[in-house]
Amino acid sequence: MRVLAALSGGVDSSVAAALLHEDGHEVVAVTMKLWGGESDTGCCSVSEVEDARRAAAQLNLDHHVFNFGEEFEKHVVAPYVSDHAAGRTPNPCVECNRHLKFDVLLRRAELLGYEAVATGHHARIVTLLDGSRRIARGADTAKDQSYVLYTLTAKELDSVMFPIGEMTKEQVRSHAEALHLRTAAKPDSQDVCFITRASGRAAFLEQRIELHPGRIQDQDGATLGTVSAVEVVTLGQRRGLHLAGGAAARYVVDVDLPTATVTVGGPEGLLCDELELENLVWAADAVEGVMNLQCSAHGASLPATVTLESIGKGPAMVRVQWHEPHRRIATGQSVVMYADLETSTGLEEVVVGGGLVR
């Protein structure tokens, strides 16, 4: 099979490409050049592209760089900025997968005559008893990345491969060491790739939108301090508020952008019984009932009852009712729904859909 292997410069994608090559596939490596601005971390930095090139050379694979900077700006960076300006908390990694890796790159691969695109995600593709394909959790549950892949539908899964999905991270590194890959001991990157460590999120946003100082108050309305930019404060935040010490832990329980007011309170102020999801993506048909929901890339999944509703005459919405009080999730964040379904290899926890907190 002719496979285009996406090399980010990390150990996971390097080993994914190596496994495909070892299995006899015709593999060509490609690195996506997404960000032309300043970057010192993640898959957008110059060093990552160089690491990908070296890994491809060690594996004796042809290596190409595709410049998708315009698409990245349109589908990831610009929405990231506008979400912050509107008081939402975006997840750019989900949007990069949705629009770049598994849309733009897939279409380019098809044009070039490749049968599949492979990535180094820790996730698996399983087959249900009816023959349909779904995303299941990776073998290494601590590194599972199915959460950030929920936007993939059956159409994309027909042309996608996750070669390391059955491996643990330790096994991936061991395989890289056996191949003497330079990426073998490279640490994982979990930062937003176009936000530099040196400057940070506020400095990045300040170049693109006007930021506004805000007032911090307690739940009784008493002023406790100020923030330099209310647009970068998010629900549940504790650090960076610079409140006087000595008091019990205080978290952001509300951000009111029009009045530039941040309200803080104890952890109990973050609890809720339900939430609403919009911009839904379903693996197949929309479903209701009891399932497990995951609210962050590395968080635990918890049971909830999912009910389909509508937004007036508009698109469908999901109402989530937690079985126990749950910490509130910031508007704009992704929530992914999982269900235990019978597959060709047994019962598996698979992605059935996901959406954004309304």
The reported pLDDT for the residue numbered 40 is 55
* Position 106 in a domain: yes
Output the pLDDT for position 16.
Answer: 98
Q: Are strands 160-161 and 214-217 parallel, antiparallel or unpaired?
A: unpaired
pLDDT of the residue at 113:
98
Q: Give the pLDDT means over successive 10-residue stretches in the chain (358 positions).
A: 96 98 98 79 70 95 96 97 97 96 97 98 97 96 97 94 98 97 86 84 95 96 96 94 81 97 96 96 95 94 94 82 96 97 95 97
Cα–Cα dist 193/44, whole Å: 6
pTM, to two decimals: 0.94
Asked if residue 275 and residue 254 are part of one domain, the reply reads no
Domain for residue 200, yes or no? no
Does the CA dihedral 244-250-255-261 come out positive or negative? negative
Residue 187 confidence (pLDDT) = 87
List, in order, residues 6 or more apart from 39 with CB less than 8 Å away: 45, 46, 193, 194, 196
- Domain assignment present for 223: yes
CATH (domain of 316): 2.40.30.10
pLDDT, position 19: 98
Task: Establish whether 96 is a catalytic residue.
Answer: yes
Question: Are 58 and 94 within one domain?
Answer: yes
Name the catalytic one among 43, 44, 93, 193: 193
> What pLDDT does 270 receive?
96
Domain total of the chain: 3
Domain interval for residue 330: 271-357
> Does some domain include residue 261?
yes
Cβ neighbours around 346 below 10 Å, total? 7
Other beta carbons less than 10 A from residue 50's beta carbon: 12
